[in-house]
Amino acid sequence: MPIVAADILMRISGGAAETDPNNALGGAMSTVGGGIVVTDVLNNDMDDITSAEASSGITIHHGYFWENTHGSLTYIAPKMYIDTQTASGDTGIDMAVAGEAKNLSIETVADEETPPIGEVFTRPANFAGGIAIGDLDAGDFRGWWAKYTVNVSASAILDTYTIGIQGDTNP
């Protein structure tokens, strides 16, 4: 049976037992159920922005992993991209593949306002312009970073975005 969307998991960083996305500051991939980022859950990847943070502006960095949980097949030539950018003109999401090779922990940053060293953040809007992460054999994982920017004097809004990943598979 070919790889399906449910075989590709987005997991937080912060250690094998980490379940709090606010602690996704790099390091090892969470391997527990609570470390999987699920869709349609408010604050499933970052905490609320306070009024003080919105007033002064803030940039937050969190580390994640893509994991191929299929039992035998390789996820071929996957690319990640921003399927839906934030709704507010005062915010934006950017992404970068981690500098470390697949199946390795990623750099740990001091706090969410500290960027990882050397990663190049972009805003790919579709698969064609997406960021290649390399083939993921069964059980492989690859680290990546999200950068969420809130401009100075940002208006309050329930802000959302959608990250996508797409690749190929043999049947």
Which residues are paired to 75 by β-bridges?
Answer: 136
Q: How many CB atoms lie within 10 A of CB 171?
A: 6
pLDDT in tens, 30-57: 999 889 988 766 666 677 788 888 889 9
pTM, entire model: 0.93
Residue ranges of the chain with pLDDT lower than 70?
A: 40-45
Q: What is the CA radius of gyration of the chain?
A: 16
100-119 per-position pLDDT tens digit: 999 999 999 999 999 999 99
The residue extents of the domains of the chain are: 5-168
